[in-house]
Structure 1
């Protein structure tokens, strides 16, 4: 009897020890997993941490596939569309020679460069008697006036450059920024009009496609059951199918373009209201943050107020210009030559002139 009790007690002690060992093993595994997770998280943060990361960087990273598509695919659209016609000049190309600045009134040769001899009145910073200074472009080694940037795709400096548009196969700059915004605005309005006016056609076409699918399913069921005494439902012809699918495709395409191009138009409208370009937005943002740390307030030297910025952008100097230059087609030149930025006539608030540095 005692031997049985001793054996039972030994078995129980052995079970308790096994449970304790198993519990320790589980705790040890959980502790090791937690340590590995913390170590991996620390490594990931140390590799990806960047003090300059903000919402703009995250958006640029998310849109990187779209940028790749634009850079590698859509650049050929502008080449194909631009065959046989000269692209709209975005600005004056600044060549290595300081006397190669050319206004838009000079001849266009070869569709690639501006050629001509510019008087000193068009280039105030080339006049020795003028003290206005400019910087030098590092890539094309030429004078670089204010608001001018170098385009790596066109391989030239563009006056008041906003961005390079692969759909147009050209830069959006001083001389075609207004045309670009008008194109975006009218294209958005046209797509919205087409989407609203063809809503009933889209619903009918979509319902017809659904009926086609239902009838096709019923026809397959009839063929599977081999009920030859029933009359099969009438099938749609290929022309009817193509028509309904084309209506649905065109409506979806117009709606998508209206949303995407509308967002781009609103973005450029906000930039025009602030009196800056897409490139200047990033520059002004960094400058604003730098001066804010020093307790100063940044002021955009090319902004004259929301209403005056629109008048300068559209070239409205008189009341009748709202009709002749905005509502009706007009080929008037924008304010300034792009080389120097004088005070506009339409702006009532006077500001001290700035050097083109």
Structure 2
């Protein structure tokens, strides 16, 4: 019995020694891997970016090739809304013989349409701007790790366009272009005027939509027409038609002309109303960023910097922010003799105040960031 116990303890000791040696070898292996791959600049974010690189590459390629399709889609949808308004909505108000209302709809609607077309065209065709290749023209810069070229302040590399963009905000697939320094104003004005346009059309179409969509007989009849190919519904419709041949639900109640009018009005309202909601959220977000002197990318960078400085008791302030009014004046390029009424409310191709390479800095905010003002 004693010999058995002794043999068992020896076996357990050997297993323990083997396990310890395996753990030691594993720790040495991990140490070797870490020593080879050590980088003082590595972080969790860098590892996440490396792991997600295939996903980012796929998204970039899809955005690049779908961009022209999105531009065509925006053009076609906008054209359809305008044509429906001309041929169906405007005649409705003209028929009511309300002269002032028709005059307002025509003048205000065409003013919005001209601004929408102009700003969208300029947003698509205007290059956002790229930094020069010579460092003497740039001044204080960093080096882009992808372009291996000078990168001025507020400049970021676009992986879709595969180039650095001055004051890059984001790559917009609806423009098939980067939103940067020289076309950022066109992008925002397009969003604002398009939002005003969809809201204008939604309000104008509402009386017709209410009459068409909430008409129980028309809605029910059109519903049956869409479901007519289904066997059970088709039989029920045929039976109802046989009972009342003079008052057929489909043949007499909804004529082809009324059916087309019903469809286009429903389409017009739902399209413009849904765009109003989605575009309204996007526009409010960009207005908020501009009021703080930030871009979408800088918003993320500034938040990280704010968290970092908060740990050492320093309040971070954006050095490119000069206050609500001044931020918009700089963004809209309102300097010298430029006015809001002429250069913003009407089409204008004026360039921004800054050159996109050297930026004015709010000195008080800069001193705050350097630690002169603590919490």
TM-score (norm 2): 0.59
Where do 5+ consecutive residues of structure 1 fail to align?
Answer: 1-51, 54-63, 100-119, 126-132, 344-348
Deviates more, 1:242-251 or 1:280-289: 242-251
Q: Distance in 1 between matches of 2:215 and 2:239?
A: 24
For the pair 1:231 / 2:246, whether they are aligned, the reply is: yes
Q: Aligned with 1:157: secondary structure?
A: strand
2:90 is matched with none
For the pair 1:178 / 2:170, whether they are aligned, the reply is: no
1:338 is matched with 356
Q: How does 1:129-208 map to 2 (within 5 A)?
A: 133-208=140-215
Q: Distance in 2 between matches of 1:226 and 1:308?
A: 70
Q: How does 1:314-325 map to 2 (within 5 A)?
A: 314-317=332-335, 321-325=339-343
Where do 5+ consecutive residues of structure 2 fail to align?
Answer: 1-43, 46-55, 76-120, 226-232, 368-375
Q: How does 1:196-275 map to 2 (within 5 A)?
A: 196-208=203-215, 210-211=217-218, 213-214=220-221, 223-224=238-239, 231-233=246-248, 234-275=252-293
For the pair 1:313 / 2:336, whether they are aligned, the reply is: no
Q: Aligned with 2:190: secondary structure?
A: helix
In terms of Rg, which structure is larger?
A: 1
What value does the CA root-mean-square deviation take over the aligned residues? 3.7
Task: Give the direction of change, closer, same or farther, for the CA distance of 1:232–1:342 in structure 2 (3 Å limit).
Answer: closer
Following superposition, the deviation at residue 213 of structure 1 comes to 2.0
Q: Aligned with 1:251: secondary structure?
A: helix
Query: Which structure has the highest helix share of the two?
Result: 2
Q: Is the 8 A contact 2:143 2:149 kept in 1?
A: yes
- Equivalent residue pairs, number: 255
Task: Give the direction of change, closer, same or farther, for the CA distance of 1:98–1:72 in structure 2 (3 Å limit).
Answer: closer
Deviations 1:225-277 (A, max 9, x none): 78657633324233321220111011000000011111110000000000000
Q: Aligned with 2:328: secondary structure?
A: helix
TM-score (norm 1): 0.62
Q: Is the 8 A contact 1:288 1:297 kept in 2?
A: yes
Following superposition, the deviation at residue 307 of structure 1 comes to 1.1
